[in-house]
Every structure is written in structure tokens, then in C-alpha cells.
Amino acid sequence: MNVTIVDYNSGNISSVINSFKEVVKGKVNIDVTSDLKTIKTSDKVVLPGQGSFKSCIDGLNGINGLIDTLNEFAVINKKPLLGICVGLQMFADVGYEEVETKGLGWISGKVSKIDNQGGKFKLPHIGWNEINIVKDSNLFKNVKNKSHMYFVHSYEFIPDDKLVISATTDYSSTVVCAIEKENIFGTQFHPEKSDNIGLKIIKNFINL
């Protein structure tokens, strides 16, 4: 099996790479690249994302043919893809961080700043928070409800179709923290920074 972690200069992704390599223990080939041919021939793709919505979309647009290749992989060929943090947010139609920016449009919805209730809640939301698993999800196999995951974000993905939501977390309001739509998966939290439970989620993705 070949798994590609897409490297499009979106910040430091070493912890993502290390956690996937730790899970597969050499039994699965892990590529870290933006090479279009490698992505096309992969069995699974991981789309990490650090920084702002706009900077990540700009990073994808900066590599000729990358967005078309990701569309072909996930939307047309329906192969498993996992978005992490801003990688999940980019599934939306539009994001409002910095300026209004068009997203990938894979899952209808928008990315807006978390309502911190006039400063009652600190932004960015950083640290461990409990997740509420709201539907059966292949990603959460053998993961207990109310597990704690590690978050770093100020913006949240608000999908139009609530049926795609697989987990939420409570921070000032109910925030979507995981989605699943057919072959497309995403986590707002960082599984690669969430200890053994995070590694279990990565393993579940590898085992799909």
C-alpha cells in the first residue's frame, strides 16, 4: 500500500510524517511529496494544513495541477483522503480567515472564526479537549467517546449538511472537530499530537 502525505509548504509537517511512520512500522510505503504522479497512484492521501486558510489554499494553488489532482483522487476516483486541521477546513466552499478565500468545495460549508463570546474564550483554542463522537465512523473504531485530543485553531468548519459531522468538541459553542463523507475524512484536532489515541485514529485511516 502507498500512502502520500502532501507536502505543499504549509508549515512543519514532521510530526505528521513521524506519527504515520510509527503506525505503519515499515509495512506501508509513506511518500511525502507534491509530485502529481505519486499522488495519483497512491492508495490513500493525507492533506495536512498549518497556518491560515488563505496561506494553505495559496500553497495548493502554487503547485501547478495539484488541486486538479486532489479533485481527481478524492472526488472522481473516491479514494480515501484525510485532512488534518486546515487540511479539513479546505474541504469547505469558502473561508473567511484574512480575506474571503475560495476552498476546494468538496463539502458544502464555510470556515469562520470561532465565536469567543466577546473574549471569554481565548483564541487560538490551544490544548487538549474532549471530543463527542456523534456518529459511527470508521475513523473512531475502538476510540472511546469523550477521549481527549489536541487542538490548535481559531477558525471552525461549519458544514451545511450536519450529517457529515462525526465528532464535535465544546469550546465556547459546539465546534465541529471531525467529518466523514464517503471516502473523505477530516479532523480539526491533530491526531499526530494526540498521543496513543491519535495514533489509533491514524491506524484506523491506514486500515480503511
State yes or no: is 85 an active-site residue: yes
State yes or no: is 177 an active-site residue: no
The three grid cell numbers given for residue 92, joined into one nine-digit string: 469547505
Residue 172: left (phi > 0), alpha (psi -120 to 50), or beta? left
> Is residue 99 classed as helix, strand or coil in its secondary structure?
coil
The three grid cell numbers given for residue 68, joined into one nine-digit string: 486538479
Give the neighbor-by-neighbor strand order of the sheet with 94-95: 101-102, 94-95, 109-113, 155-159
Catalytic member of 56, 85, 97, 177: 85
Catalytic member of 97, 156, 180, 192: 192
Q: Which helix (H) or strand (E) holds 178?
A: strand 173-181
Catalytic member of 97, 125, 177, 190: 190
Cell 471552525 belongs to 156
State yes or no: is 56 an active-site residue: no
> Is residue 165 classed as helix, strand or coil in its secondary structure?
strand
Which residues are designated catalytic? Answer: 85, 190, 192
